[in-house]
């Protein structure tokens, strides 16, 4: 559960927000580098595009299910060790 909230919050803290990429942020620097490498455009499906999508809308249902199924057993194992 923490990952489903914490990861999007971390992405937002980088500057990938619901209203777009924040000026002067790490996200802005990443987008600039991606645009330079892509001759002025940021490719669909690129890391910057995916992070902005998560920052704007959160994780998709499929991603939430995948993260839960992967991280649930890990959390249980860590809890058992503690």
The DSSP call for residue 40 is T
Domain range for residue 66? Answer: 45-81
Same domain as 49, residue 22: no
Q: Are residues 10 and 32 in the same domain?
A: yes
Q: Which residues contact 54 (CB under 8 A, 6 or more apart)?
A: 7, 8, 11, 16
Tell which wins on pLDDT, 37 or 60: 37
Residue 17 backbone phi and psi in degrees, to 5: -115, 170
Q: How far apart are CA 56 and CA 16, in angstroms?
A: 7
26 and 54 share one domain:
no
Residues 35-58 have a mean pLDDT of 85
Domains of the chain: total: 2
Whether residues 56 and 33 fall in one domain: no
For the segment 12-35, the average pLDDT, to the nearest whole number, is 90
Decide: pTM greater than 0.85.
Answer: no
Task: Please provide residue 18's backbone torsions phi and psi, each rounded to the nearest 5 degrees.
Answer: -65, -25
Q: Which residues lie across from 21 on neighbouring strands?
A: 16
2 and 34 belong to one structural domain: yes
- Confidence bin at 3 (pLDDT 50/70/90): low
Q: Are residues 4 and 34 in the same domain?
A: yes
């Amino acid at each position: 559960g923490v990952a489903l909230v914490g990861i999007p919050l971390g992405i937002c803290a980088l500057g990938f927000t619901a209203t777009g990429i924040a000026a002067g942020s790490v996200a802005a620097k990443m987008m600039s580098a991606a645009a330079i490498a892509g001759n002025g455009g940021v490719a669909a499906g690129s890391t910057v595009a995916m992070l902005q999508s998560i920052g704007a809308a959160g994780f998709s249902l499929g991603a939430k299910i995948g993260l839960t199924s992967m991280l649930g057993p890990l959390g249980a194992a860590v809890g058992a060790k503690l």
